Chain A
């Protein structure tokens, strides 16, 4: 390194910043004035510019960004760890539809306080226990379409099953009656499925299908899954095995 100003680290940094467009307008203007007045600085800029252009040109030739097919395939075929809700959305497009912004309590469906429901109904546990829903979740595989019919006229569609950090199994489900529908999560405890969160939703084909999403109650389902779920949702075979072994 010499003591000449054009060769100083400071000037090199300034000139490099200028070449890379990292100077603001005031700094650029000040540098341009200096370049007019300082031939050596101008010469140094030219040298840096030529070297930079050379590097850029050399690496602009075609093919340097060609990715080997086996590497690309590796990424394309890599398993993903979508959250259970994401997996459900992939399998069941209706979950990505807009949800209602209001809470609706379906007849016969118990709302639970802990994760977005309105009022506690189970003094002992603080969680809702709905016998018919519990029985259905205990024995019905997740469905991508169609419904399991309950004796009281409601229809239930288990969506997927996932495990919480504590090891408990939970199931995301839809329940509908007449024109209202809810989206919820129930978790298995002491051989019962207790509803942990329940929120109003709209199903495809309903009048509210394209209502803007954003219900805080609906989000509570997502939040619950995000906070509680571990791993990925149970696959079809694993779920069948769980049902056969009473979720043990």
Chain B
């Protein structure tokens, strides 16, 4: 497979921020997100992509496969609590920030309990704002599969998060 063309490289650069956020939604912490992003980028650069490939979709697909094949095969869960603790210590600058970070940890833990395929679909649609069609394209499954995975993911999240801080409108942001 050929290395990246110039336009593909530019497109990949433009997509890195979104990819990093996607990585975070899959790994649940910054260090693993950076690792996943780095591995994804290295794979793309080493293996290249077809000239007619959509760079963003291709990159998300490589990221997804990398997460499934490599990152998740490690004992991420064991590493997770230590990492969360370290990150929390570093960034408790204000109460609001602390609240946001605690909330991110809580939500990330809930996402971590989802089956991989549900987490992938929900991350792409609910966090990254992809359409069902785009998510289906990235995950290489029918749209109907995306639909059911997202619905099941939300249902599972209701079970795990539903009884915690349900009132979103009154959150203290000061």
List residues of chain A with CB under 8 Å of any chain B CB.
Answer: 7, 9, 12-13, 15-17, 19-20, 22, 47-48, 50-59, 61, 64-68, 70-72, 74-76, 78-83, 86, 90
B17 engages A67 (CB within 8 Å): yes
A52 engages B154 (CB within 8 Å): yes
B127 engages A56 (CB within 8 Å): yes
B2 engages A58 (CB within 8 Å): no
Q: Which of B16-41 contact A (CB under 8 A)?
A: 16-21, 24-25, 33-34, 37-38, 41
Distance between Cα atoms of A54 and B160 in the complex (Å): 12
B150 close to A (CB within 8 Å): yes
Complex partner residue of B13 from A57, A75, A90, CB under 8 angstroms: A75
Contacts of A47 in B (CB 8 A): 158, 162
Distance between Cα atoms of A16 and B100 in the complex (Å): 25
- A7-B155, A15-B151 are known; give 4 further A-B pairs, CB within 8 A: A50-B168, A71-B37, A74-B38, A75-B12
Contact with A along B78-104 (1 / 0, CB 8 A): 000000000000000000000011011
Interface SS of chain B: helix
A17 engages B147 (CB within 8 Å): yes
B20 engages A75 (CB within 8 Å): no
Q: Smallest CB-CB separation from A56: which chain B residue?
A: B126
Complex partner residue of A65 from B17, B151, B158, CB under 8 angstroms: B17
A51 engages B161 (CB within 8 Å): yes
A71 engages B103 (CB within 8 Å): no
A57 engages B5 (CB within 8 Å): no
Complex partner residue of A74 from B24, B34, B41, B108, CB under 8 angstroms: B41
A72 engages B13 (CB within 8 Å): yes
A79 engages B3 (CB within 8 Å): yes
Complex partner residue of B151 from A13, A74, A82, CB under 8 angstroms: A13
Between-chain CB contacts (< 8 Å), 23 pairs = A12-B155, A13-B148, A19-B154, A47-B162, A51-B157, A54-B107, A55-B157, A56-B127, A57-B103, A58-B108, A61-B100, A61-B104, A65-B21, A66-B20, A67-B19, A67-B20, A68-B34, A72-B16, A75-B45, A78-B4, A78-B45, A80-B8, A81-B4
Contacts of B166 in A (CB 8 A): 50
Contact with A along B110-135 (1 / 0, CB 8 A): 01000000000010011100011000
B20 engages A64 (CB within 8 Å): yes
Q: Interface extent on B, as a size class? A: 35 or more
Q: Smallest CB-CB separation from B131: which chain A residue?
A: A22
B6 close to A (CB within 8 Å): yes
Closest 10 CB pairs of A and B: A65-B17, A58-B107, A81-B3, A12-B151, A13-B151, A16-B151, A65-B21, A67-B16, A51-B157, A59-B127
B42 close to A (CB within 8 Å): yes
B37 engages A12 (CB within 8 Å): no
Contacts of B3 in A (CB 8 A): 78-81
A64 engages B103 (CB within 8 Å): no
B17 engages A20 (CB within 8 Å): no
Contacts of A75 in B (CB 8 A): 9, 12-13, 16, 41, 45
Distance between Cα atoms of A47 and B154 in the complex (Å): 9
Q: Smallest CB-CB separation from A66: which chain B residue?
A: B20
Contacts of B107 in A (CB 8 A): 54-55, 58-59
Contacts of B41 in A (CB 8 A): 71, 74-75
How near does chain B come to A63, taking the closest CB pair, in angstroms?
8
How near does chain B come to A17, taking the closest CB pair, in angstroms?
6
B5 engages A81 (CB within 8 Å): yes
